[in-house]
Amino acid sequence: MNNISLKIVKLLTKKKLTVSFAESCTGGLLASSITSISGSSKVFNIGLVTYSNNAKVKLLQVPKKTITKYGAVSYETCLSMVKNLSKISKANISISITGVAGPNGGTNEKPVGLVFIGLKKGRRIIIKKNLFKSKQRVSIQKATVNKSLKMILNIL
């Protein structure tokens, strides 16, 4: 993680861009991967761990009806999270993460390892649906962070 995080911090610094994250199932691991790099304070804006549905509604203004209709782990919730984070943080790049890290909590429709990652840069929004095969919580969290970092790198 650290090599890619270092590369991202250097590129963001060079391009004078900022990032913000709204994390659910990764619990701040993505923010930690960036803030562990010296100089990240120049580029890192906000990191929110909106783990509960209540936090998604109160802090990120995800409509309650979106969560009720589609669930916290959904394309629609991820999209709402990333759009609203972008408004709140004013960062150049915003990332939102919502998923089922397991080992419990999965269903047939939303199995353990299902994670949505949203990225917003300018008017461009990308929502990626991932199904990580591991059934281990930490492995799913790390895979999600790595995927998120690669998405950031690709847009830089």
> What are 64-77's pLDDT values in tens digits?
999 999 999 999 99
Residue 31 neighbours by CB under 8 Å, 6+ apart:
21, 23, 44, 47, 49
Looking at the whole model, is its pTM more than 0.85? yes
CA-nearest of 21, 20, 26 to 98 is: 26
Tell me which CATH homologous superfamily contains domain 18-155: CinA-like (3.90.950.20)
Residue 1 neighbours by CB under 8 Å, 6+ apart:
33, 142, 145, 146, 149
d(CA 141, CA 101): 7
> What pLDDT, on a 0 to 100 scale, did the predictor assign at position 75?
98
pLDDT category of residue 11 using cuts at 50, 70 and 90: very high
Mean pLDDT of the chain: 96
| Beta bridge mates, 97 | 23, 117
Q: Where are the domains of the chain?
A: 18-155
pLDDT exceeds 80 at position 53: yes
Spatial strand order in the sheet of 19-23: 44-49, 19-23, 93-99, 114-121, 124-131
> How many CA atoms are closer than 13 Å to the CA of 61, on its beta-carbon side?
8
> What pLDDT, on a 0 to 100 scale, did the predictor assign at position 2?
74
Helix 2-15, helix 137-155: angle, nearest 10:
30
> What are 112-132's pLDDT values in tens digits?
999 999 999 999 999 999 999
d(CA 112, CA 130): 11
> What are 71-112's pLDDT values in tens digits?
999 999 999 999 999 999 999 999 999 999 999 989 999 999
- What letter does residue 144 receive in the DSSP assignment? H
> What pLDDT, on a 0 to 100 scale, did the predictor assign at position 135?
83
